[in-house]
Structure 1
Amino acid sequence: MTRQLFLLGGMSALDAFTPPWLKVCGERVAVLSYALSEKHAALYRDLWAGRQVEFVAPDEESGTLDLDLDWAAAAIAGASAIFVAGGDTSRYHDLYGTGPLRELICTRYRSGVPYAGVSAGALLALEQCLIPGQDSGVPDRFGPGLGLLPGTLLGVHFAEWGGAATLHRHLRARHMATGWGLDDCVTLHFRDEAEPVSYGGSAFLIRLS
């Protein structure tokens, strides 16, 4: 089965992303977020009308930031597609980029369950996950990502967050050869990690020799 990976530069990409996403996402989409009060929840449900959308996140009303791992794993295991929302990339990395949920997400993707991520969710998909300083107020850093697209770095909110100069610097520092820059309106769609198609505009590509 074809592996389908969608990387969105920002929320403005949703309109162009949604038609190809609806062709492959099936009936039950698990939206992985940072809080059950996800501010874009109504937008996702409106855009993906007719799909069952289940939100996976810590319940902030419980007074804890811990995630119910059994519940989250059941939602991911039962989903026909996985969408990882945006926000604090470090928080997403802690929730979904480590431990048993990381392995489950990777296994589901490899079995043909489509994965889409916007901003933080897109960064998390890569082998090396950029945790931007814009999220935390500290310099950019990297942590191990999901590894769904190996050998590649990604810049989201590209024009706003340093553009080509920043992406080029990260590629050199991480000894990697391929980098994609995505403005807020752009989605890259990879099938079996081959050359992608873009929706909503053109992506910026750097290849280092």
Structure 2
Amino acid sequence: MRDRYLYLLGGHSFQTETNRQFVEQAGGSNARIVLCIMNRPGWEEYVPLFQQMWTESGAQDMQVIVPDEDGILDMEQAEQVLSQATGIFIGGGNTEKYHHYYATGRFKDLLINCYENGVPIAGNSAGALILPEICLISPLDNEQSVMLFKQGVGLLSNVLISVHYTEWSDQSNLLEGMRTKKVKRGIGIDEQACAVFINGQLAYALGESVHEVIFEDFDPDQYAIVKGQSHK
């Protein structure tokens, strides 16, 4: 059975070493990468940037999954494309929209199936937040300015993820989410960093800092241990 790789990027999609390793795990020159993004103004301009970056790492084949202008996702096309994928990259943007399209229903099932069959999956910002069992959406990341919890894809369990961690000073929100959901472990990922999980366990970090937050106790007066994960 193939090892299962997750690359959770904290805010910047175009991290060179992260994408190089992602493409390598996806098959290098034989990789078939699927990019899942949102239909928002200018989205077409980002596609060549991803394509160039992955081509430089050896990948030649890239497909895009995106809702149409009416907000409809062609599930027949998505299923066909994902069935051939050797790597999946989920972009960043509005986390609630990404969750709606890519962490529910049939699409969620397809992602789980790909992951369980050894297809490496990368997610940047919103794309990273939707992949664990619990999707934590910071008050800084939604129009209501409140903490939101949604059922994620479920590729990681017993951990909450925070992105833009240092840049948004999001530690207090991550801790509050952990207290609320009684989850003892949190991972805060800076914008220029990537947390790499292998078979559901944090293996190493790439780029800038990835912060591991561990509750010794759920007593609100107890302090959490916060440490930066070493790089590779």
What band does the TM-score fall into relative to the shorter chain? over 0.9
Please state whether the residue corresponding to 2:82 is helix, strand or coil: helix
Please state whether the residue corresponding to 1:40 is helix, strand or coil: helix
Return the offset for 1:135.
Answer: 3.8
Q: Is the 8 A contact 2:195 2:202 kept in 1?
A: no
Residue segments in structure 2 that go unaligned for 5+ positions in a row: 217-232
Asked if 1:29 corresponds to 2:24, the answer is no
Residue segments in structure 1 that go unaligned for 5+ positions in a row: none
**Structure 1 residue ranges, 4+ long, deviating more than 2 angstroms after superposition:** 36-40, 131-136, 160-163
Please state whether the residue corresponding to 2:164 is helix, strand or coil: coil
Return the offset for 1:163.
Answer: 2.6
Whole-Å separation in 1 of the counterparts to 2:24 and 2:84: 18
Q: What is the aligned length? A: 206
Find the counterpart in structure 2 of residue 208 from structure 1.
Answer: 215
Please state whether the residue corresponding to 2:18 is helix, strand or coil: helix
Whole-Å separation in 2 of the counterparts to 1:163 and 1:58: 30
Whole-Å separation in 2 of the counterparts to 1:44 and 1:23: 15
Q: Is the 8 A contact 1:31 1:56 kept in 2?
A: yes
Q: State the TM-score, normalizing by the size of structure 1.
A: 0.93
Whole-Å separation in 1 of the counterparts to 2:60 and 2:139: 35
Q: Is the 8 A contact 1:89 1:132 kept in 2?
A: no
1:90-137 deviations in Å (ceiling 9; x for gaps)? 001110111111011011101101010000000011111123333431
Q: Choose the corresponding residue for 1:103, options 109, 124, 130.
A: 109
Asked if 1:127 corresponds to 2:133, the answer is yes
Find the counterpart in structure 2 of residue 179 from structure 1.
Answer: 186
Find the counterpart in structure 2 of residue 189 from structure 1.
Answer: 196
Root mean square deviation, CA, Å: 1.5
Whole-Å separation in 2 of the counterparts to 1:118 and 1:22: 15
Find the counterpart in structure 1 of residue 149 from structure 2.
Answer: 142
Find the counterpart in structure 2 of residue 51 from structure 1.
Answer: 60
The percent of aligned pairs where both chains have the same amino acid is 31
Q: Is the 8 A contact 1:54 1:75 kept in 2?
A: yes
Q: Is the 8 A contact 1:81 1:113 kept in 2?
A: yes
Find the counterpart in structure 2 of residue 10 from structure 1.
Answer: 11
Amino acid at match of 1:34: M
Please state whether the residue corresponding to 1:35 is helix, strand or coil: coil
